[in-house]
Amino acid sequence: MTPPEPTASPADFSLLILGGTSEAYQLAADLHGRADTGLRVISSLAGRTAQPRLPAGESRVGGFGGVAGLTAYLRAEHIDAVIDATHPFAGQMRWNAADACAAAGVPLLRLERPAWRAAPGDHWLEIDNWDEAVAHLAASVPATRRVLLALGRQELAPFAALDHCHFVIRSVDAPDPQPPFAHAELVLARGPFSLADERELLLSHAIDTIVCKNSGGGATDAKLAAARELGVRVLMRRRPPQPDSPSVASVAAAMQWVAARAGK
């Protein structure tokens, strides 16, 4: 594989942020003001939404071509460090980043928001995959009738076989194609969501069950507080296994990590 041509001359210190999360945007914005110190920051987005919001500073959109492609990119762009601030469920990208950084000899830090934890009054059932969720929904007739699928647009297909449920599908972009649900409606929205908005969504659609991922963070946790208030059940998918990489839980800690390595 021919490595890509560098897009800029080497800086004193070049950092690649694997982004897409609110933490990645905040980190890019906080570091952008330090560009005059010789710190080059490149944010990479997967491009899963039609019109992604671009972070501050330099950015790229799209995949790298697996471990080999990312390794070649790190070398061609003279990357000195990588911060993996992808979504907690971006499983393959996280393993690719760990393998590519090891191959290129580049330090890697994972910036990962803490997972949500059930609070008193919650009605959670934790699951490991969507097949488990489908089985629980199928077994809960007639208690489960109206379900909010808050899991994006790319993992809907397992639920289409449940013709006894009316699904409310919330995502940033419309699924293309949309799986053949017997009863479904689409709500296009991008977080963060307020508690009042989430309460209204659950009430107006008479939702009795939410299916979601344990994404953590504050952008979409209001639905859990609304579910607690209203007694709505939540099928919560646990996070997948992660590479054994150093990690921090805050943008401030990631900033300190960068400063220590860049000598800034």
User: Which pLDDT tens digits describe the chain residue by residue (264 residues)?
Assistant: 444 444 444 568 999 999 989 999 999 999 987 655 689 999 999 877 667 789 999 999 999 999 999 999 999 999 999 999 999 998 799 999 999 999 999 999 999 999 999 999 999 999 999 999 999 999 988 888 999 999 988 899 999 999 999 999 999 888 888 889 999 999 999 888 999 999 999 999 999 999 999 999 887 899 999 999 999 999 999 999 989 999 999 999 999 999 999 886
Q: Rounded distance, CA 98 to CA 156, Å?
A: 28
pLDDT at 35: 56
Rounded Cα distance, 57 and 228, in Å:
39
Q: Which CATH superfamily is domain 124-237 in?
A: NAD(P)-binding Rossmann-like Domain (3.40.50.720)
Range list for CATH 3.40.50.720 in the chain: 13-113+241-262, 124-237
The whole-angstrom separation of Cα 140 and Cα 55 is: 43
**What residue has token string 């590519």?**
100
pLDDT of residue 223: 96
**Which residues have a Cβ under 8 Å from the Cβ of 36 and sit 6 or more positions away?**
none
What's residue 1's pLDDT?
45
Task: Say whether domain 13-113+241-262 belongs to CATH 3.40.50.720.
Answer: yes
Quote the pLDDT of residue 263.
81
